[in-house]
Amino acid sequence: MALYEKTAAELSAMLAKKEVSAVELAQDVFARTKAVEDKVQGYVTLTEESALAQAAEIDKRRAAGEELPALAGIPVAIKDNICTKGTLTTCASKMLYNFKPPYNATVMEKLAAQGVVVTGKANMDEFAMGSSCENSAAHPTHNPHDVNRVPGGSSGGSAAVVAAGEVPLSLGSDTGGSIRQPAAFCGVTGLKPTYGAVSRYGLIAFASSLDQIGPFGRSIEDVAMLLDAITGHDPMHDSTSVKTPFEGTVRAGLNADIKGMKIGLPKEYFGAGISDAVRESVLAAAETYKNLGAEVFEISLPLVEYALPVYYILSSAEASSNLARFDGVKYGYRTPNAGDDVIALYTKSRSEGFGAEVQRRIMLGTYVLSSGYYDAYYKKARAAQRKIREEFANAFDKCDVILTPVAPTTAYGIGAKTTNPLEMYAGDICTVSVNIAGLPGLVQPCGFDGDKMPIGMQLIGPRFGEQTLLNAGLAFEQASGLRNIIAAL
């Protein structure tokens, strides 16, 4: 088995035993990347030179007898909206085509302390707005399991490079399902942590009250390792971050014994619109949990039918505010056609720098925040958000976790939904409620459809219920054997 085919946990053990060097591992994953990247196109920027230097430094420290963290020498790809000092961070947008941040995101400082090897910046939907990774100013990313299909979005690049064997771990961000849906489409494991569990400092904002950075990996243990590295309170830079009850202890606390665990199946997630293959696969996973000793029963979450409009109103309103800073003045794209007219500078820079989907959401957000419409739309959406949060809280009085599909279908063809934004938005129906409620959501493979495309299942937990989620995920992973799925490109 080649090095790129192993999980991060397996590679960590090999590095610790000096069975392989960090430089050898980095060289192996870059060789794999060079072999398949032209088909996948999962990266925006590769950082091979600096990665090999980081790997050499890890080898030097290990040779000197230094005791290193578990992730030391492990290659990790970073979504292109997470600031990396001195390395292009473009949000896959023409607007930030030349932006090199003068600082690191908090998660990057944490990963540097762990000694990870950063392989590059993964492609994404522009400013994290999209569900297919087709809205990138660089290029679309392709699903490694079928390069004629989308990998999901917006963190499509982060999921695709893991599924393609180009890297064992990656970071993404999730505003309405942007980690979980790509994880399902690409057959990898992804976690959207509880809001506040991971600092958002240095994450270029889409919707600040919904955004959350999270890990991708090829197994539950891989995701636990990366989660341990990035969680924690960040009092200097992110006042919404908190000290979690599981900080740095999730991997050590993994336990596949779930006898007596109560798992809810919300009937609203299994109705019309969910394909037969997805429904049957997730319900088969529920049977697996029953066989493992869990108590599985139907619950009802009637308010989730309002989650999609609530999400698009709130997220677009926040996007309208957050993206106002990109005006062609201080950094990023500036139109060459403005003359001496400052209004033309703003207008043309934004019109030329932002893609169609970003412009669409800015306009929607500006509309719902405008005089005369704020009360009719934004205020009502906030009220509905509170009700949805209460409904989930009540559900967790009865169950430990909730099991649902991730998306109505498996990965669809590239270009299939680009002319119908509303149809693409509808694909987020199973994921957006988690962000609205600020909850953690875990996605992992649970089967394949008739075209051999991966199907994912979603486990939703109460706030800071990551340990319970990952324990439930580990139990299923061990029972099903569905882990470390690498596409045969």
- Residue boundaries of the structural domains of the chain: 3-257
3-state secondary structure of 428: coil
Q: Residue 103: which residues within 8 A CB-CB, separation 6 or more?
A: 83, 85, 202
**How far is the C-alpha of 167 from the C-alpha of 198, rounded, in Å?**
22
DSSP 347-408: HHHHHHHS-HHHHHHHHHHHHHHSTTTIIIIIHHHHHHHHHHHHHHHHHTTT-SEEEEESSS
Going 428 to 429 to 434 to 435, the CA torsion angle's sign is: positive
237 with 106: CB under 8 angstroms? yes
How far from each other are the two terminal CA atoms of the chain, in whole angstroms? 16
174 - beta bridge partners? Answer: 212
- Please tell me the pTM assigned to this model: 0.97
List the structure tokens of 22: 């960090």
- For the annotated catalytic residues, the residue numbers are 79, 154, 178
Q: Is 35 exposed, middle or buried (0-12, 13-18, 19+ CB in 10 A)?
A: middle
Element (H, E) at 48: helix 48-63
Q: Residue 225: which residues within 8 A CB-CB, separation 6 or more?
A: 8, 9, 12, 70, 71, 169, 217, 251
State the Cα torsion 381-387-393-397 to the nearest 10°.
-160
Of residues 252, 232, 386, 225, the one with CA closest to residue 307: 386
235 with 196: CB under 8 angstroms? no
**How far is the C-alpha of 393 from the C-alpha of 128, rounded, in Å?**
28
pLDDT at 422: 85
Q: How far is CA 224 from the centre of its chain?
A: 14
Instruction: Walk along the chain (489 residues) and give the pLDDT tens digit of each residue.
Output: 799 999 999 999 999 999 999 999 999 999 999 999 999 999 999 999 999 999 999 999 999 999 999 999 999 999 999 999 999 999 999 999 999 999 999 999 999 999 999 999 999 999 999 999 999 999 999 999 999 999 999 999 999 999 999 999 999 999 999 999 999 999 999 999 999 999 999 999 999 999 999 999 999 999 999 999 999 999 999 999 999 999 999 999 999 999 999 999 999 999 989 999 999 999 999 999 999 999 999 999 999 999 999 999 999 999 999 999 999 999 999 999 988 899 999 999 999 999 999 999 999 999 999 998 999 999 999 999 999 999 999 999 999 999 999 999 999 999 999 888 888 998 999 999 999 999 999 999 999 999 999 999 999 999 999 999 999 999 999 999 999 999 999
Of residues 216, 198, 227, 210, the one with CA closest to residue 152: 216
pLDDT at 339: 87
pLDDT at 421: 87
CATH code for the domain defined by 3-257: 3.90.1300.10
Q: How many CB atoms lie within 10 A of CB 243?
A: 12
DSSP H helices, 64-179, are 106-114, 156-163
Q: Is 66 exposed, middle or buried (0-12, 13-18, 19+ CB in 10 A)?
A: exposed
List the structure tokens of 109: 């400082």
Edge-first strand listing for the sheet containing 117-122: 43-46, 117-122, 75-79, 169-174, 212-217, 189-192, 441-448, 454-460, 401-405, 262-266, 295-299
**How far is the C-alpha of 486 from the C-alpha of 461, rounded, in Å?**
27
**How far is the C-alpha of 324 from the C-alpha of 62, rounded, in Å?**
47
Of residues 391, 454, 399, 387, the one with CA closest to residue 143: 454
pLDDT at 346: 95
Q: HSE-up of 121 (CA within 13 Å, CB side)? A: 22
264 with 299: CB under 8 angstroms? yes
DSSP 185-253: HHT-EEEEPPTTSB--TTBPPS-TTT-EEEEEESSHHHHHHHHHHHBS-BTTTBTT----TTTTTTTTT
